[in-house]
Amino acid sequence: MKSANDKNVRIGIVGIGNMGTGHAKLFLENKVPGAMLAAICDINPDKMKSFADVPKYTDSDTMLREAKLDAVVVATPHYGHTTIGIAALKAGLHVLVEKPISVHKADAQRLIDTKRTKKQVFAAMFNQRTDPRYRWLKQHIDSGDFGRINRINWIITDWFRSQAYYDHGDWRATWEGEGGGVLLNQCPHQLDLMQWLFGMPVAVRAFCQRALPRYRGGR
Ligand SMILES: NC(=O)c1ccc[n+]([C@@H]2O[C@H](COP(=O)([O-])OP(=O)(O)OC[C@H]3O[C@@H](n4cnc5c(N)ncnc54)[C@H](O)[C@@H]3O)[C@@H](O)[C@H]2O)c1
């Protein structure tokens, strides 16, 4: 644990890819008051090359044991979230897990159920909740400005991901690497926003369609 003189929360990040690198930079640029980047970990050492002065590990268990951390951010591909999250919670650390917290419901439950002290904070990274539009909406819903909301229709059309995005990581959009598709990757943000803003639904009706049928096969 941190020394008596060090008031900053000592953060370790597991997974230094897109998200992990972004998180790490925020700490190094002192954009997170009261926290410092104490260690980073990636199974691929090349990913950590640009972080010259930060202690580096290629094995998360070793980092959890040796880096004297207070808290861990887990930013590996999805499947690692459960195992690394559980290990960090069992080590007594605060844990922030990138979405989705797990691929399977049973794993999510195992992660959530991992015994922790009352002081330990465990959270999932739903950064859309910091978007000013949604904060504005939340404030007005909670204050009752819109009255009672009986029905919602939530449509998101601007979260298209190009082939370059899927090519970026060999784990992306594969059953082995990701365990599912859009529902597991982009959609958790929308599902989270919906229940954060409007509460849990009483009933859900779903439709599924592949692309736009009238464009399939040309004209
Ligand atoms: N909150 C958001 O808006 C948001 C946005 C993008 C991605 N994400 C989530 O962040 C996670 C990572 O996505 P990304 O785009 O950064 O992926 P990425 O492929 O760019 O990075 C993942 C990194 O984890 C490393 N890694 C894999 N297994 C590891 C292990 N066992 N221990 C240590 N390092 C390991 C890989 O080498 C890689 O560098 C995904 O679960 C994704 O859903 C969240």
Q: pLDDT tens across 49-82, in order?
A: 999 999 999 999 999 999 999 999 999 999 999 9
Q: Which atom of ligand 1 is nearest to the CA of 128?
A: 3
Q: Mind listing the pLDDT tens digit for each residue in 178-202? A: 998 888 889 999 999 999 999 998 8
pLDDT profile of the chain (219 residues), mean per 10 = 67 98 97 97 97 96 98 97 98 97 96 95 96 97 94 87 89 90 89 94 78 55
CA-closest candidate to residue 38, choices 21, 20, 52, 54: 54
CA–CA distance from 33 to each of 4, 9, 28 (Å)? 18, 9, 11
Q: Which atom of ligand 1 is nearest to the CA of 47?
A: 39
pTM of the model: 0.91
Centre of ligand 1 from the C-alpha of residue 172, in Å: 10
Other beta carbons within 10 Å of 203: 4
What does the pLDDT read at residue 212? Answer: 63
CB 58 within 8 A of CB 41: yes
Decide the pairing of beta strands 71-74 and 56-57.
unpaired
Pocket of ligand 1 (CB under 6 A): 14-20, 41-44, 47, 60, 75-78, 80, 98-99, 125, 127, 169, 185
Centre of ligand 1 from the C-alpha of residue 31, in Å: 21
